[in-house]
Amino acid sequence: MSMNTSRFATLEDVIVDDAFPDLDLALRRGRHVDRDDAAWFALLVDAQDYLEPLYRRYGCELVQKSDGYFYLLPTLDKLGRRHLSPAEMLVGQALALLYLEPVTVETGAIVSREQVLSHLAGIVGSDVLLGALNPKRKRYDERAAAETVRAKVEGALRRLATLGFVDALDETRYRMRSPLLRFAEPLRGAGSAAAHLESLVASGEIALREDESEDPVQEEKAHEEEGLGDTDEAEPSP
């Protein structure tokens, strides 16, 4: 929106707006903001011309996508970076595929944790999924490995909710949001989406980091302590 039609006359007017402090903190922590965040989204549209140069001073770009959402993309390390984990990338791409399915409109974009697990297994295969999310174990008990997968998928869903990709409706159900389309970028024009995801697993693109904590409590604590979310890492190269 042009400054001539904005309800804000100066950057100071934007900063003193009641909604700005919470919005600013959310963006710096990696939150994606779409039309479901009505007040925040309206503020960003109205104040975009003022906020873009402000965030550039902190080494970030305020990005607006045609699919209807905003996020901050770090270009420098002034505010810190937080890369998505391989499990979060894998779950995010699976959710993006679900979001793009025609039936999504009929279901209100609501998906259960079990549906996500089933969809992942269907895309890459149960054996590949077990191996991808249990990378440190050359041999593993299948039941224990399956529980690890469930825990990591559940943790990924929680983290994606904090970043604005989904809304947690209860302990097992989530509502998918338009920012999930960011995960679809590397899948567009890649032929078979399922084959592309499987190739990411096979090539090690979604193998868990060697330094990733096995303790979900410690993982969650680390997530909360980290700064700006660098969700550009949610888009691995094919």
CATH level 2 (architecture), domain 86-227: Orthogonal Bundle (1.10)
**Beta-strand relationship, 173-176 and 166-168:** antiparallel
Residue ranges, comma separated, of all CATH 1.10.10.2260 domains in the chain are 86-227
Where residue 34 falls among pLDDT bands split at 50, 70, 90?
A: very high
pLDDT of residue 190: 61
The whole-angstrom separation of Cα 81 and Cα 232 is: 10
What does the pLDDT look like over 139-157, one tens digit per residue?
Answer: 667 788 889 899 999 999 9
User: Is the pTM here over 0.75, yes or no?
Assistant: yes
CATH class of 11-74: mainly alpha
CB distance 63 to 72 below 8 Å: yes
**Beta-strand relationship, 110-112 and 166-168:** unpaired
List CB contacts of 52: < 8 A, sequence separation 6 or more: 61, 62
Where residue 210 falls among pLDDT bands split at 50, 70, 90?
A: very low
Residue ranges, comma separated, of all CATH 1.10.10.2250 domains in the chain are 11-74
3-state class of 176 per DSSP?
Answer: strand
Q: Which residue has the tokens 């937080």?
A: 82
The whole-angstrom separation of Cα 128 and Cα 123 is: 10
Better-scored residue on pLDDT, 8 or 211: 8
